Chain A
Amino acid sequence: MFQNLIDFLLNDFFITGDPLILGAQVSIGLSMVAVVFALTYFKKWRWLWTEWLTTVDHKRIGIMYIIASILMLFRGGVDALLMRVQLAVPQVEFLHADHYNAIFTTHGVIMILFMAMPLMFGLFNIVVPLQIGARDVAYPFLNSLSFWMFFFGAMLFNVSFVIGGSPDAGWLAYPPLSELSGSPGLGQDFYIWGIQISGIGSLATGINFVVTILKMRAPGMKLMKMPMFVWSVLSSCITIMFAFPILTVTLFLLFIDRYFGAHFFTLDGGGNPMMYINLIWMWGHPEVYIVILPAFGIFSEIVSAFSKKKLFGYKSMVFALMSISFFSFFTWAHHFFTMGSGANVNAFFAVTTMLIAIPTGVKVFNWLFTMFRGKLTFPTPMLWTIAFIPCFVVGGMTGVMLSVAPADFQFHNSYFLIAHFHQVLIGGVVFGYFAGLYYWWPKMFGFKLHEGLGKWAFWLWNIGFYVCFMPQYALGLMGMTRRFNEYNFDMGWQPLNVVSTVGAFIMGLAFLFQVWQIAHSIKFYKKEPTGDSWDGRTLEWSIPSPAPLYNFARVPVVDSEDAWWEEKQRLANGGKPKPLAPLEPIHMPKNSAIPFLISVSFFVMGFGFVWDWKWMIIPGAIGVAICMLARSFSYDTDYYIPVDEIERTEAALGGTK
């Protein structure tokens, strides 16, 4: 009996026999021991539970999202470097084919769903309520649930690396390869449940922020007076609301195929694998706009703040954001022009794809005109913004090239495509979120990040990016296609691949510089003297950094775009400070353990489904149901912060600025 268990653990449960994975298992084990030891030694368990795991405070949830996403960036980045090493020396079998398949799959999934999405949600959480003058999001409980669903979904996905086996059917898991016939292992089940659980969280975040933005704005802040970042979040979240249910259904159908032997996407029984590709891209294409739209908002904020000018073309920017979020639902078929859907379908989707480039182009001109004749300064957030513009323009142009259906038959699945989407995703999304992270860092933690190291990181990232991806355009045109781990020397691809790998390692170095930058800035902590670190324009800069629990002691009244800037101008021109209204008790939500517990239950259930262990599925499902009912029956969910406590907090923070 005991021997059976050991056999099972060594042969099936844990992945064994690969030195790389063994190293990862050992380091994961050691770091878990270290964390448990540190928490116990410093007696921090209670602190962790009450201050973080059960918090419903949007600022703390935002910080947790960002920490998780940076860890995922590390994991996805290591995957990328491993792939690049293999492609630089294809004759040496550094990664064998199966391992390579697993790595490009997890790289894609992690970077999009577990790095870009949570980094984006982290910034939403931290910034949006502060920018609209609200005390929290519309549904703080749901917000916490979203985070934990994301977190445990990501954990379930990542655990497949050391337990059970990684998914290896590509980041979108096309059937029939991802069906039981093509992927009999457990990796694909980890994929389905990991993404499904975190996807529910994303959908809830989408609804939460749409409602927050529509209903929770400070008095006087009309829609057309909202900061541009808030607009971009609105457009992104609307897209989430309409796109994510499609993903949920698609993965659910794949799950039914694998678990119940249905025939949606199988080759036999009348199933149609093409339908999966059709459905997954109905989500997948809006998804790329979901992650890029908030980056556009971040750039708009930063360009305006560091040009000391109002954003040029506010209305056209709003129009561009909203029309992109609408049109993103009408371009999905350009991902499978080669599927053979006939000339009409291809022509229609080629035209819609080209059309969507127009509002994007409008934005670039708006940013340029905002800078024109502005008083420009170039701290790190602005540097990332400036680097983004040419990078994204080139990425966008190659996108238009790909949208030409007949030409796409040549580009399809080649390294040209790989270079294109990395250019828009790194040059657009990653640069954008880095810019946002540097810009709002002082608001989150009350200190700035070291500029010098930040500039090193910036230049290394940029140089590394171009060295890595420009050769890939050429490789694509030379005929190199994606997703294989070896090629013959006589193809003539090796020199450019080596260059590309060097570029990837420069980006890896840049990431290390960022880690160093953060560590250095914490070690030489220098408190920001005011809450207004960058002489900002919007409401988040009108309160102390980091913001108190309730954000605004008094709810601000807004009468213009760039409200905080206008107020500062008015005061500088001799205007009188407006009389302060008396403080009132503030209504706040109570912390809750239920979101954490629901997500743990989902994790247990998902893990049970992966292994098909009924004894684990049933308790997990019951746990979910009990938690939901417990929430339904709890009426004591919020409280008031009394006035004297607000006064004390405000005094400690240095007055009611």
Chain B
Amino acid sequence: MENHNSHSPSHDSHGSMKSYVIGFVLSIILTIIPIAIVMNDMLSKQLTIIVILIMAGLQFVVQLFFFMHLKDEAKPRYNTMALVFGLIILLTVVAGSIWIMSYNVVG
């Protein structure tokens, strides 16, 4: 219960109406674009995958910064570190599984 030298996101900082509205508008845009691309077959298959994954990634970043206020965390940034490590493991789990299992496909 002693020695807290850092605070969690959205503790001391809770954003403003402006940041929430910006975040909301951005996330709406980032959702409409991939839906429009896919529903109207606007791009080639490979390009579509790349674009919609980028959009999802951006959406994640938007939510992190505008809604979860990750940027405002005080040092040491344990929350950010944990998140980054978590994302590395996440990518490992997903990419590793895809790689290994590509040799063991069942129809």
Contact = CB atoms under 8 A, between A and B. Distances in A.
Contacts of B89: 242, 329
Interface in B1-50: 1-4, 6
Interface string A314-355: 000000000000000110110000011110010000000000
Interface string B96-107: 110111011011
A214 interface: yes
B57 interface: no
A216 B2 contact: yes
A333 B97 CA distance: 10
Given A246-B93, A342-B103, A587 B2 contact: no
Which one of A221, A242, A330 has the greatest number of beta carbons of chain B within 10 Å? Answer: A242
Contacts of B1: 134-135, 216, 587
B60 to A, nearest CB: 19
B85 A275 contact: no
A282 B106 contact: no
A578 to B, nearest CB: 18
B101 A282 contact: no
Nearest to B93: A282
B78 A214 contact: yes
Which one of B4, B6, B97, B99 has the greatest number of beta carbons of chain A within 10 Å? Answer: B99
A7 B100 CA distance: 49
Interface string B63-78: 0000000000000001
A217 B78 CA distance: 15
A332 B93 CA distance: 10
A270 B107 CA distance: 6
A219 B2 contact: yes
A218 interface: yes
A5 to B, nearest CB: 44
Size bracket of the B interface: 20 to 34
B96 A282 contact: yes
Q: Is the interface of B mostly helix, strand, loop or mixed?
A: helix
A224 to B, nearest CB: 13
A238 B1 CA distance: 21
A494 B20 CA distance: 74
Given A214-B78, A219-B3, A242-B89, A270 B106 contact: yes
Given A272-B104, A272-B106, A134 B86 contact: no
Contacts of B3: 215-219, 221
B104 A340 contact: yes
Interface string A278-303: 11001000000000000000000000
A555 interface: yes
Interface in A516-569: 555
A242 B103 CA distance: 26
Contacts of A282: 93, 96-97
Contacts of B106: 270-272
A274 interface: yes
B97 A345 contact: no
Contact of B97 (A214, A217, A219, A278): A278
Given A242-B86, A271-B106, A215 B92 contact: no
B8 to A, nearest CB: 10
Contacts of A218: 2-3
Contacts of B97: 275, 278-279, 282
Nearest to A220: B3
Contact of A278 (B2, B4, B6, B100): B100
8 contacts: A215-B4, A218-B2, A246-B93, A274-B101, A329-B92, A339-B103, A341-B104, A345-B103
Given A221-B3, A270-B107, 7 more contacts: A216-B3, A217-B3, A219-B3, A238-B85, A272-B104, A341-B103, A341-B104
